[in-house]
């Protein structure tokens, strides 16, 4: 039944897409458009508007006008809560439609997309809907005859730029807390994953979000993204993506109005398996799925597998066997375990990482080749590379594809050194039955998230953020609200 519904939805034509500004569909000023190619078969799905700086300015003006009007920004938190819950209701009502639309656009396997995209997005909107009327200001312990109050206020216009791997999930991490706090938002999706977020904008309006509070501008990052970064009336910029783009956004802030810039810039996350792990078979399966689901296109993917030397050979073979047995293919098939690479460009980059690793001395145990080329889509067999050293490119650079680097270690101290020997610090994991060791590793590993005897699954109740060059600030949890609120002090004489 589910598969039939999916197959029906995949056949639905997608009309050319416009910009969503001020609660209305609007064409790009210059009339330009970009083709949207499906990674499933390489076919042309539709077009999206190619926004320029003028279009971005229109969206920011709409957001500012809505903010200044106060219908949303000065609404009681309980009123904003009602609308956010209705948005979650609409997402859940249209969950299958949104998931299939997103998969046709970005290639994530549908079994993962249903949970990670509309499922996660609806939960995120509900979380911040419930949170916002429970966040209080403060009364300061001031001197006698003085009342010191600390108010939390919305900042203004939030610019959000999100990637193509999980557009709805990551989009919701930024949109929901920003809206809950009373801000207006201008969202710029990735060129290769805009469709589900455009549909979300429409659903937000249907749910009662006032016009101009949420706007979506599509187009090239080098044009629309740059215009958003440089805009003098954007107060906060929240971004998930590559380090190179993150650096440019910081430059744009310095060149414009010193807007706050919050960055989540990916990782090269270590998944560390000790010989005393409580269940090595489970650890091997979780390690494989922790890198190969969504074809490795996951910010927190466990792309470096560190294995204690005494179990290294056998464990590496287990993981390679699981990788070789995974079903890679049509992401709209519910039996598929790893879908498509997002684009031909990304596939080429990922394959080049495998080639370079082999040229530097790594041993390719399985995969690493393009497959299903006859479909016209962008598919790759999951690659497991053994004997990877910390000085190899694959150990240092994020491939952002189904490529696993296996690295042996001798003891706990060496595991920590290898784990921390990158410029990244987003996620990590430790597998051990030794509770004291687990706590030591949590303390010693430099990463925003340390999993113990698992990988992935951290929900919206806990923060996600990186250290080192994985970025700053946090998505998820109550801490995300800090990015989208200002503190204002009222110092009141009572004498």
DSSP 333-387: STT-SB---S-HHHHHHHHHHHHHHHHTT-EEEE--SEE-GGGTS-EE--EEEES
What Å distances lie between residue 370 and 14, 37, 133, 329, 403, CA to CA?
28, 18, 51, 11, 12
Q: How many CB atoms lie within 10 A of CB 271?
A: 27
Q: Compute the distance between CA of residue 295 and CA of residue 381 in angstroms, rounded to an integer.
A: 9
The closest of 250, 269, 252, 255 to 473, measured between CA atoms, is 250
Q: Provide the pairing of β-strand 33-37 with 44-49.
A: antiparallel
Q: Name the catalytic one among 117, 191, 226, 264.
A: 264
**Cβ neighbours for 424, distance < 8 A, ≥ 6 positions apart:** 265, 266, 267, 268, 269, 398, 466, 468, 469, 470
Our CA dihedral for 203, 209, 213, 218, rounded to 10 degrees, sits at 0
How many alpha carbons fall within 13 Å on the CB side of residue 217?
33
H helices present in 107-187, as ranges: 110-114, 120-131, 167-180
What Å distances lie between residue 172 and 76, 78, 120, CA to CA?
21, 20, 8
DSSP assigned state of 168: H
φ/ψ (deg, to 5) at 401: -160, -175
Q: Compute the distance between CA of residue 429 and CA of residue 447 in angstroms, rounded to an integer.
A: 10
**CB neighbour burial string for 45-81, b if at least 16 within 10 angstroms, e if fewer:** bbbbbbbbeebbbbbbbbbbebbeeeebbeeeeeebb
CA angle 124, 125, 129 (to 5 degrees): 120
| 345 given a catalytic annotation | no
φ/ψ (deg, to 5) at 236: -140, 140
Active site residues: 264
């Amino acid at each position: 039944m589910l598969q039939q519904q999916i197959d029906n939805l995949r056949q639905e034509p997608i009309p050319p897409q416009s910009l969503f500004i001020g609660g209305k569909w609007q064409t790009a000023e210059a009339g330009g458009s970009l083709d949207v190619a499906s990674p499933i078969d390489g076919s042309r799905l539709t077009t999206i508007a190619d926004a320029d700086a003028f279009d971005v300015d229109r969206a920011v003006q709409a957001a500012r006008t809505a903010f200044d009007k106060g219908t949303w920004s000065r609404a009681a938190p309980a009123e904003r809560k009602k609308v956010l819950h209705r948005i979650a209701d609409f997402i859940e009502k249209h969950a299958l439609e949104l998931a299939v639309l997103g998969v046709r656009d970005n290639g994530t396997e549908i079994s993962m997309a249903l949970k990670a995209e509309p499922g996660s997005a609806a939960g995120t909107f509900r979380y911040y809907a419930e949170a916002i009327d429970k966040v209080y200001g403060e009364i300061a312990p001031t001197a006698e005859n003085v009342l010191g109050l600390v108010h939390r206020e919305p900042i203004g216009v939030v610019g959000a730029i999100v990637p193509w791997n999980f557009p709805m999930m990551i989009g919701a991490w930024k949109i929901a807390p920003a809206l809950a706090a009373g801000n207006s938002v201008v969202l710029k999706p990735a060129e290769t994953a805009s469709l589900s977020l455009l549909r979300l904008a429409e659903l937000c309006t249907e749910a009662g979000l006032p016009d101009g509070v949420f706007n979506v501008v599509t187009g090239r990052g080098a044009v629309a993204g740059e215009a958003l970064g440089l805009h003098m009336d954007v107060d906060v910029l929240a971004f998930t993506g590559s380090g190179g783009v993150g650096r440019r956004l910081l430059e744009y802030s310095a060149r414009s109005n010193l807007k706050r810039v919050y960055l989540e810039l990916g990782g090269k996350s270590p998944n560390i398996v000790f010989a005393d792990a409580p269940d090595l078979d489970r650890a091997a399966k979780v390690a494989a799925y922790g890198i190969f689901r969504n074809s490795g296109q996951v910010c927190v993917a466990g792309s470096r597998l560190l294995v204690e030397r005494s179990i290294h050979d056998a464990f590496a073979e287990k993981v390679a066997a699981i990788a070789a047995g995974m079903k890679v293919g049509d992401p709209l098939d519910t039996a598929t375990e790893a879908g498509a690479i997002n684009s031909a460009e990304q596939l080429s980059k990922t394959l080049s990482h495998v080639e370079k690793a082999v040229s530097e001395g790594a041993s390719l145990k399985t995969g690493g080749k393009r497959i299903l080329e006859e479909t016209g889509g962008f598919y790759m067999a999951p690659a497991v590379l053994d004997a990877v050293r910390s000085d190899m490119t694959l150990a240092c650079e994020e491939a952002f594809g189904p490529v696993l680097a296996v690295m042996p270690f001798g003891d706990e101290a060496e595991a920590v050194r290898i784990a921390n020997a990158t410029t990244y610090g987003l996620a990590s994991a430790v597998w051990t039955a030794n509770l004291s060791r687990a706590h030591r590793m949590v303390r010693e590993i430099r990463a925003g998230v340390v999993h113990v005897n698992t990988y992935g699954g951290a929900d919206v109740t806990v923060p996600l953020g990186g250290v080192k060059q994985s970025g700053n600030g946090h998505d998820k949890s109550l801490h995300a609200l800090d990015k989208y609120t200002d503190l204002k002090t009222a110092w009141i004489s009572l004498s």
